């Protein structure tokens, strides 16, 4: 009976939401007031439920305030964290794909701290066109007549098809009906763009005559979807692009290409696996080509459309373009990243993506050795750390058959399972993402950014203390 009375008294003494809000330095949380109020209300409700269940804290106000502050620390924290990428995957979709160097960030931040002439022609004072910001750069690097930028490559493919082939037939090989991450399927995109898909050839073999026989009065275009995220090998046949371009030109049908990753560099000349350059497709006679800005290019998320001036102009006039066009932030980053390409085989080290890809095993081994030398584990832990050679993937469907040699720190413990080690590193205040292979937790060096080695050393020592 006395306990019930005590609970009733405490319930009456429970501080109100407004009382608690008056005691909180709200401005220090940099979070909308409604979120803070909701969090406080949730905390009060939890304390009320605890009191009813019989939990009696020594100091009700202090107990409730601690609960409130804990909830605020969870709810008011940004969901975006700086993460150390120990997966070895440079173009990791979950981690924002292409990383941007601090050198470019510094230059870009100065431009973004105010107004920019995004759509203003300064010499004349008249309205300009944002598409022209990087058009000269793209023309120089790809050989295209004109270009357009939208928010990603999926948007680029959709608006390209809708603008050029709406209510017409789009011919595509059965072997190119790809699906990429997020259930983005080429047949679905063709349908959504308002076109009719005409399949030709077989999954493993398509011939030039398959295309020739399919072209008719209602043909709007021939589409080639570059299989950048998988390869069909064995008993196969693909049509040579120049031959297909010649056929399309002869039959007056646009040849469209969804390239996906989109390399501007000569990958072989910079010591990387071969990948067709965008300019090779343009030279072959492609009418319009689309590719991503945040994959092998090394820039911000964007969809780049290059090709014949008349067709690019048609895409530009599409009402959907306004919904898909990029903002000033994307243009500023893209402008800077394109300028890192001096020649196909001469790329500035400011292009962090290319720099990471070019780091060889010897360089990564030195980094791993230096990192391991700075780690002195406590006698309390049974974790052993070794250095092993590994092979990693590019990520984001780029260079799907290629494995890049790398080096990783491998962790072994009799008391901790690899999943436990993975969770410990992932949930540290500076999250470190690795991977499990061969019953070992691994932190690969390939995608650990220059300058993060010291932070990673401290994280390992703290996690394993």
Element (H, E) at 444: strand 440-444
The encoded tokens of residue 12 equal 């009456």
Residue 94 confidence (pLDDT): 93
Residue 436 confidence (pLDDT): 97
Residue 2 confidence (pLDDT): 45
The encoded tokens of residue 42 equal 């949730």
For 364, residues 6+ apart whose C-beta sits below 8 A from its C-beta are: 406, 407, 445, 446
The encoded tokens of residue 210 equal 């398959």
Residue 202 confidence (pLDDT): 83
Return d(Cα 171, Cα 169) in angstroms, integer: 6
Angle between helices 2-13 and 33-53 (to 10 degrees): 170
Return d(Cα 462, Cα 427) in angstroms, integer: 12
Coarse DSSP helix, strand, coil percentages of the chain, rounded to the nearest 5 percent: 40, 20, 40
Q: What is the DSSP letter of 449?
A: P
How many C-beta atoms surround the C-beta of residue 123 within 10 A? 6
Residue 229 confidence (pLDDT): 53
> Nearest-CA neighbor of 46 among 17, 18, 23, 25?
17
Cα angle: 200, vertex 203, 207; to 5 degrees:
50
- How far is Cα of residue 7 from the mean position of the Cα atoms in its chain? 53
Return d(Cα 82, Cα 432) in angstroms, integer: 9
Residues of the chain with CATH 3.90.1150.180: 84-93+356-463
- DSSP per-residue letters across 306-333: EE-HHHHHHHHTSTHHHHHB--HHHHHH
Return d(Cα 56, Cα 62) in angstroms, integer: 12
Residue 164 confidence (pLDDT): 97
- Model pLDDT for residues 395-430, shown as the tens digit of each residue: 887 887 789 999 999 999 999 999 999 999 999 999
Residue 3 confidence (pLDDT): 52
Which pTM was predicted? 0.89
- Model pLDDT for residues 312-350, shown as the tens digit of each residue: 999 999 999 999 999 999 999 999 999 999 999 999 999
Residue 57 confidence (pLDDT): 84
- How far is Cα of residue 63 from the mean position of the Cα atoms in its chain? 42
Please name the CATH architecture into which domain 84-93+356-463 falls: Alpha-Beta Complex (3.90)
Residue-wise pLDDT tens for the chain (465 aa)?
345 556 778 888 898 999 999 988 888 888 899 999 999 999 999 999 998 888 888 888 999 999 999 988 888 888 888 999 999 999 999 999 999 999 999 999 999 998 999 999 999 999 999 999 999 999 999 999 999 999 999 999 999 999 999 999 999 998 888 776 666 788 899 999 999 999 998 878 899 999 999 999 999 999 998 875 556 665 567 889 999 999 999 999 999 999 988 899 999 999 888 888 999 999 999 999 999 999 999 999 999 999 999 999 999 999 999 999 999 999 999 999 999 999 999 999 999 999 999 999 999 999 999 999 999 887 778 899 999 999 999 988 788 778 999 999 999 999 999 999 999 999 999 999 999 999 999 999 999 999 999 999 999 999 998
CA distances from residue 369 to 217, 243, 364, 365, 407 in whole angstroms, order as listed: 65, 52, 9, 6, 10
The encoded tokens of residue 330 equal 């994307």
CA dihedral 210, 215, 219, 223 (to 10 degrees): 30
Residue 172 confidence (pLDDT): 95
Region of 438 (left: φ > 0; alpha: ψ -120 to 50; beta: rest) is left
Residue 8 confidence (pLDDT): 78
Domain 123-348 falls in which CATH fold? 3.40.640
Question: Do 461 and 424 meet the contact criterion of CB atoms below 8 Å apart?
Answer: no
Determine phi and psi for 240, rounding to 5 degrees: -60, 135
Element (H, E) at 180: strand 179-180
Residue 223 confidence (pLDDT): 96
Residues of the chain with CATH 3.40.640.10: 123-348
Element (H, E) at 74: helix 60-75
């Amino acid at each position: 009976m006395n306990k019930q009375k005590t609970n009733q008294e405490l319930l009456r003494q429970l501080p109100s939401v407004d009382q608690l809000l008056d005691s909180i330095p709200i401005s220090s949380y940099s979070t909308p007031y409604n979120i803070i109020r909701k969090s406080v209300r949730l905390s009060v409700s939890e304390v009320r439920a605890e009191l009813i269940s019989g939990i009696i804290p020594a100091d009700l106000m202090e107990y409730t305030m601690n609960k409130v502050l804990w909830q605020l620390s969870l709810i008011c924290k940004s969901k975006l964290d700086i993460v150390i990428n120990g997966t070895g995957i440079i173009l990791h979709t979950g981690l924002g794909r292409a990383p941007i160097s601090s050198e470019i960030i510094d230059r870009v931040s100065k431009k973004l701290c105010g107004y920019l002439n995004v759509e203003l022609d300064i010499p004349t004072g008249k309205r300009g066109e944002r598409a022209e910001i990087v058009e000269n750069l793209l023309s120089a690097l790809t050989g295209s007549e004109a270009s357009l930028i939208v928010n990603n490559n999926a948007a680029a493919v959709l608006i390209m098809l809708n603008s050029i082939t709406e209510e017409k037939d789009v011919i595509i090989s059965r072997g190119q009906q790809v699906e990429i991450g997020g259930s983005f399927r080429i047949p679905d995109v063709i349908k959504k763009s308002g076109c009719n898909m005409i399949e030709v050839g077989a999954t493993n073999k398509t011939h030039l005559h398959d295309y020739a026989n399919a072209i008719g009065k209602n043909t709007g275009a021939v589409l080639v979807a570059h299989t950048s995220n998988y390869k069909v090998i064995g008993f196969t046949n693909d049509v040579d692009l120049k031959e297909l371009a010649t056929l399309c030109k002869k039959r007056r049908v646009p040849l469209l290409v969804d390239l996906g990753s989109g390399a501007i560099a000569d990958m072989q000349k910079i010591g990387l696996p071969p990948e067709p350059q965008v300019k090779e497709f343009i030279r072959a006679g492609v009418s319009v080509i689309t590719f991503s800005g945040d994959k092998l290019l090394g820039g911000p998320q964007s969809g780049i459309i290059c090709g014949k001036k008349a067709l690019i102009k048609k895409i530009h006039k599409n009402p959907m373009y306004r919904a898909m066009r990029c903002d000033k932030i994307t243009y500023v980053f893209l402008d800077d990243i394109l300028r890192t390409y001096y020649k196909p085989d001469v790329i500035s080290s400011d292009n962090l993506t290319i720099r990471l890809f070019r780091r060889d095993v010897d360089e990564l081994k030195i980094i791993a050795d230096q990192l391991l030398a700075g780690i002195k584990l406590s006698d309390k832990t049974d974790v052993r750390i070794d250095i092993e050679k590994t092979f990693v993937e590019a990520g984001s469907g780029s260079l799907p058959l290629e494995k890049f040699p790398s080096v990783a720190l491998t962790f072994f413990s009799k008391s901790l399972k690899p999943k436990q080690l993975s969770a410990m590193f992932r949930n540290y205040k500076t999250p470190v993402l690795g991977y499990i292979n061969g019953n070992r937790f691994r932190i690969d060096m390939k995608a650990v950014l220059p300058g993060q080695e010291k932070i990673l050393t401290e994280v390992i020592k703290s996690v394993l203390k």
